Amino acid sequence: MPRLFVGCIIQSRPPPQKRDHNKQTKGNEMSAVKIGRVQGGKTKKSYPVHWDPDTKHVFVEKSGLFSSTLVDTKGLASRGEMAMHVAEAFVYDK
């Protein structure tokens, strides 16, 4: 009975590149930090607020049935306190 040789292909990967954390990178990386909660105007439902200190964007977390998504408020805030005001105005209209 002849022997069958099953070979495997070994792919070499390039070594991982070291990231420079001091350098600003443009990409899909988002480092939004949860800073608090705001209440809606009519429903009084509570929404978590996220703020990205690098890009200054403010996000409100919208809960779904199985997951939650971050909704961009299209507002910018220089500080976390101002981000809470932006999110509160955004949620009040919803």
Nearest to 32 by CA among 10, 19, 49: 49
Residue 15 lies in a domain: no
The confidence score (pLDDT) of residue 48 equals 95
Residue 12 lies in a domain: no
**DSSP bridge partners of 59:** 50, 72
Q: How far apart are CA 51 and CA 32, in angstroms?
A: 5
Q: Which residue has the higher pLDDT, 61 or 29?
A: 61
Residue 28 lies in a domain: no
Q: Are 49 and 83 in contact (CB under 8 A)?
A: yes
Tens digit of each residue's pLDDT (9 = 90 or more) over 33-82: 999 999 988 888 899 999 999 999 999 999 888 998 999 999 999 999 99
**Domain range spanning residue 45?**
33-92
pTM of this structure:
0.66
